[in-house]
Amino acid sequence: MRIGIVGATGYGGAELLRLLKNHPKVKDIHLYTSSKDGVHISDSYPHLTDVYNLTLKAFDADVVSQETDLVFMATPPGVSAESTDQVAKNGTKVIDLSGDLRLEDPAIYERWYKRKAADQKTIDLAIYGLNEWAKEEVQSAAIIANPGCYPTAALLGLAPLVQKDLVVHDSIIIDAKTGTSGAGRSTSSATHFSEMSENFKIYQVNSHKHTPEIEQQLKRWNEGIGAITFQTHLVPMVRGIMTTMYVQLNESFSQEQLHQLYNDVYKDSPFVRIRKENHYPATREVYGSNYCDIGLSYDERTGRATIVSVIDNMVKGAAGQAIQNMNVMNGWDESTGLDVVPVYP
């Protein structure tokens, strides 16, 4: 299969290349750039020296549609909105890592992303690829909107309780933390070393663009769910996301029942690991892997459940989930090429 990566010089592109090296079905890879035409990938990423002998080519949607069967768009917001229909016109499948095709209402996209949305036809064709909960749709999809990093962690953690309508509808609070690689490779004053070292910051308070994405999916599962409170923090680490979620349950639960529910729901999901009672995951424990690890607690005093989920933002939050989606789209085992043990310590 001929694979394309647009935005291969970014962190998402580099992570795709790291993981695809061990993918038995992928041999023919084409890399596209908007600024480094003719540059060898190892000049951009020396850790890939002798791993790939590939030179970047200028991104042109028509060329991509002729040269590839499936393309990963690892590009900033706006690029997929403009070019997906052209890339897909000859049957090339598209997996978009950006947020351009995730929101079904273009007006909501334009309000939160502050840029023009993709055309409605392309948005309607795109399947929201939260893989664990969309196997059938992903299988037959031509275009995948790969979920955002925070929504992946939050939604996998909330799904069992929300789907079974066990949550007081307007009680969901998501307290999220991320490492700096989530901001991509280009430098910014928010993420450079002097700003982030020995520091811990809240950002985009009540205004993060992943808020409508999380609400949209929660409402698909349970239309009664109200507005969520979602806050994001930057911590001095490179990879990893932790979402700590607080929800009021609408019936009395026991710790044991809560664990039973999550173990049952995710028993056939190889990338979701439920920790045993009184054990909680740390970001290091999924580092470099496609796992989402979940810890649970029910507080009898308050009637609230605390759900903690961790992922590696670059893997399950981006490139890993994208490859999992590619696998399911092609009828391959979902774990193909993703059988990676987390790097520890």
Give the residue numbers annotated as catalytic, written as ranges: 149
Q: Least distance (Å) from ligand X2W to the CB of residue 98? A: 5
Give the one entry of ligand NDP, ligand X2W, none that residue 234 binds, where binding means its C-beta sits below a cut-off of 5 to 8 angstroms depending on kind.
Answer: ligand X2W
Residues contacting residue 23 through CB under 8 Å, at least 6 positions apart: 323, 336, 337
Q: Does 240 bind ligand X2W (CB under 6 A)?
A: no
**CB-nearer residue toward ligand NDP: 174 or 314:** 314
How many Cβ atoms sit within 10 Å of the Cβ of residue 127? 19
CA 31 to chain centre: 21
**CB-nearer residue toward ligand X2W: 70 or 234:** 234
Give the one entry of ligand NDP, ligand X2W, none that residue 189 binds, where binding means its C-beta sits below a cut-off of 5 to 8 angstroms depending on kind.
Answer: none
Q: Does 157 bind ligand X2W (CB under 6 A)?
A: no
Give the one entry of ligand X2W, ligand NDP, none that residue 290 binds, where binding means its C-beta sits below a cut-off of 5 to 8 angstroms depending on kind.
Answer: none
**CB-nearer residue toward ligand X2W: 88 or 234:** 234
Q: Does 101 bind ligand X2W (CB under 6 A)?
A: no
**Residues 21 to 60 in contact with ligand X2W, rule: CB under 6 A:** none
Q: Could you give the CA distance from residue 306 to residue 52 in angstroms, rounded to a whole number?
A: 44
Give the one entry of ligand NDP, ligand X2W, none that residue 33 binds, where binding means its C-beta sits below a cut-off of 5 to 8 angstroms depending on kind.
Answer: ligand NDP
Q: Output the six-digit token pair for 54.
A: 């590939």
Give the one entry of ligand NDP, ligand X2W, none that residue 7 binds, where binding means its C-beta sits below a cut-off of 5 to 8 angstroms depending on kind.
Answer: ligand NDP
Pick the binder of ligand X2W from 95, 149, 292, 329 (CB under 6 A). Answer: 149
Give the one entry of ligand X2W, ligand NDP, none that residue 34 binds, where binding means its C-beta sits below a cut-off of 5 to 8 angstroms depending on kind.
Answer: ligand NDP
Q: Does 4 bind ligand X2W (CB under 6 A)?
A: no
**CB-nearer residue toward ligand X2W: 188 or 260:** 188
**CB-nearer residue toward ligand X2W: 71 or 296:** 71
Q: Least distance (Å) from ligand X2W to the CB of residue 182? A: 3
**CB-nearer residue toward ligand NDP: 45 or 133:** 45
Strand partners, 96: 73, 145
| Residue span binding ligand X2W (CB under 6 A) among the ranges 14-22, 176-184, 222-230, 330-338 | 176-184
Q: Least distance (Å) from ligand NDP to the CB of residue 6? A: 5
Q: Could you give the CA distance from residue 221 to residue 343 in angstroms, rounded to a whole number?
A: 34
Q: Does 182 bind ligand X2W (CB under 6 A)?
A: yes
User: What value does the CA radius of gyration of the chain take, rounded to a whole number of Å?
Assistant: 20
**CB-nearer residue toward ligand NDP: 4 or 10:** 10
Q: Does 235 bind ligand X2W (CB under 6 A)?
A: no
Residues contacting residue 182 through CB under 8 Å, at least 6 positions apart: 149, 241, 313, 317
Q: Interface with ligand NDP by CB under 6 A: which residues?
A: 6-7, 9-13, 33-36, 59, 74-77, 79, 97-98, 148-149, 181-182, 184-186, 313-314, 317-318
Give the one entry of ligand X2W, ligand NDP, none that residue 117 binds, where binding means its C-beta sits below a cut-off of 5 to 8 angstroms depending on kind.
Answer: none
